[in-house]
Amino acid sequence: MANKPKYTIAVTALNAIDSPGPGVSVIRALKDAESFEVRIIGLAYETLEPGIYMHDLVDKTYLIPYPSAGADALSARLYEIHQLEKLDMVIPNFDAELFSFIRLSNQLKIWGIHTFLPTEEQFNERHKHNLVEFGEKHSIIVPRSKAIFEKSGIAPLADEYSYPLVVKGKFYEAGIAYNSEQAYSYFDKISAKWGLPIIIQEYIQGTEFNVTGLGDGKGNTIAAIPMRKQYITDKGKAWGGITVADNKMLELTRHFISSTHWRGGFELELMKDKNGVFYLLEINPRMPAWIYLSVGAGQNIPEALVKLAMGMNPEPFKTYESAKMFIRYAWDMIVDIKDFEQISMHGEL
């Protein structure tokens, strides 16, 4: 394409621990975009997020306040960064930060910073503790579950659901408890890290699948890629996966988007039981850490997201390649201590 536009896009979630953020994968997809060129501004919460030091992917990085600091602190910092970098768009990728970015989206638009995020209503109704009501409203099969605020709430649900149970945090982390001792231990561990409520969910035995996709906010499916987890970490995160051809999953995804009018990227976590029934376990309201697999399968979802944010109408993807695998790996990056000192002392690199 001649005279391709060039966008300055800020991206969060540059971490790469055993439960990695999507930021680096999103950036790789944006760098592969065919319809525009991109300059990447990293937004980091901690000085050891590896994406900060990946200078071939990230042009400059700024520290931003933790989500717990609130929307006002985030707004002030984004304004400072925008004055220096003239941002065209920001793509947040952590669940815990999304609410503040959604709240600020109108203000950001006034400054000239585009976003393409779920609405506040969409974000709230898909919360784990609202999943049962969500399933009823949108005619989607979900496991039985309940949010609890005290450990005493576990025993009645164990009697109703029977062990094993799934114990989930409101933002992240989950564990399968095979007895009351494990359930209480997960409650303490997860609530200490992510707060209350804790969600107790019926355990569905089967095969895990994920679907990442993109909705245009009008009920139309722009993209959808189903994936079966091939290798799973002890935190339940996919460390390897393969795209699959499955019309049932695609139909479920299209129904989810048309019923909710979902706006933006997402990930559906699904379980297929022995009868071939898909249960929706969780809705992540942003692109997943394995989003680069969408590029490999023929649907560059981050590129299409940018087009929607910029007011274009990208053609929905019609096909994708099945049997495309991703395999995640860790490698040691050598960094000059001066770079670490720069980001630590001055909040930018």
Check which CATH number belongs to the domain holding 306 and give it. Answer: 3.30.470.20
One domain for residues 215 and 320: yes
Last residue of a domain, one of 160, 184, 202: 202
Q: Find the range with the poorest average confidence among 78-87, 164-173, 309-318, 336-345.
A: 164-173
How many residues are recorded in the chain? 349
Over range 202-212, report the average pLDDT: 95
One domain for residues 157 and 65: no
- Alpha-carbon distance of 212 to 217, in angstroms, equals 16
pTM of the model: 0.93
Find the helix packing angle between 95-111 and 71-85, rounded to 10°: 50
Within the chain, what is the greatest distance between any pair of CA atoms?
65
How is the beta sheet containing 89-91 ordered, strand by strand?
Answer: 60-63, 37-44, 6-11, 89-91
Residue keyed to tokens 């990085």: 61
Find the helix packing angle between 301-309 and 23-31, rounded to 10°: 80
- Alpha-carbon distance of 295 to 82, in angstroms, equals 29
Higher pLDDT pick, 220 / 239: 220
Q: Which residues of 288-325 are buried (b: 16+ CB within 10 A; e: fewer)?
A: bbbbbbbbbbebbbbbbbbbbbbeeebeebeebeeebe
CB contact at 8 A, 303 and 30:
yes
Q: What is the pLDDT of residues 58-95, one digit of tens each?
A: 999 999 999 999 999 999 999 999 999 999 999 999 99
Q: What is the pLDDT of residue 259?
A: 98
Identify whether 135 is part of a domain: no
Q: Which residue segment(s) compose the domain that 191 sits in?
A: 144-202
| CATH code at position 163 | 3.30.1490.20
SS3 170: coil
Identify whether 185 is part of a domain: yes
User: Which among 202, 203, 197 has a CA at the least distance from the CA of 148?
Assistant: 197
Q: What is the pLDDT of residues 94-134, one digit of tens each?
A: 999 999 999 999 999 999 999 999 999 999 999 988 999 99
> Residue 330: pLDDT band by 50, 70, 90 thresholds?
confident
CB contact at 8 A, 282 and 131:
yes
User: Which among 208, 127, 206, 199 has a CA at the least distance from the CA of 165?
Assistant: 199
What's the mean per-residue pLDDT of the chain?
95
How many domains are there within the chain? Answer: 3
One domain for residues 49 and 61: yes
- Alpha-carbon distance of 246 to 37, in angstroms, equals 33
Identify whether 32 is part of a domain: yes
Q: Which one-letter DSSP state was computed for residue 177?
A: E
Identify whether 297 is part of a domain: yes
Q: What is the pLDDT of residue 237?
A: 76
Those residues whose C-beta lies under 8 Å from the C-beta of residue 249, and which sit 6 or more positions away, are 209, 211, 226, 270, 278
- Cα angle value 14/249/224 (rounded, 5°): 45
Last residue of a domain, one of 202, 222, 239: 202
Over range 284-307, report the average pLDDT: 97
CB contact at 8 A, 20 and 288:
no
Q: What is the pLDDT of residue 176?
A: 93
One domain for residues 219 and 309: yes
Identify whether 97 is part of a domain: yes
Identify whether 298 is part of a domain: yes
